[in-house]
Amino acid sequence: MASHAVASEAPEQIIRSASKDVLDIIKKNDKDPSKTRDLVDARLSPMADYKRMTALATGQYWKSATPAQQDALTTEFRTMMVRTYLGALTLYKNAQINIKGTRAGNDADEQNVRTEVTLPGQKPIPLDFSFEKQGSDWKVYDISVDGISFINNHRNQFGSVIRKDGIDGLIKLLSSRNNAAKQGK
* Residue of 33, 22, 1, 25 lying closest to 140 (CA atoms): 22
Domain limits for position 165:
11-97+149-182
Strand partners, 114: 101, 128
- The CATH number of the domain holding residue 79 is 1.10.10.640
Residue 114 within any structural domain of the chain? no
Residue 61 within any structural domain of the chain? yes
Q: DSSP state, 76?
A: H
Phi, psi of 136 (to 5 degrees): -100, 0
Residue 127 within any structural domain of the chain? no
Residue 45 within any structural domain of the chain? yes
Long-range contacts of 150-156 (CB under 8 A, 24+ apart): 150/53, 150/57, 150/81, 150/84, 151/53, 151/56, 151/57, 154/57, 155/56, 155/57, 155/58, 155/59
Phi, psi of 41 (to 5 degrees): -60, -45
Contact predicate 125/144, CB 8 Å = no
> What does each of the 185 residues of the chain score in pLDDT, given as a tens digit?
444 444 468 999 999 999 889 888 888 877 887 888 888 889 988 999 999 999 999 999 999 999 999 999 999 999 998 888 777 776 766 778 899 999 887 787 899 999 998 888 889 989 999 999 998 899 999 999 889 999 999 999 999 999 999 999 999 999 999 988 877 65
What length is written for the chain?
Answer: 185
Total domains present in the chain: 1
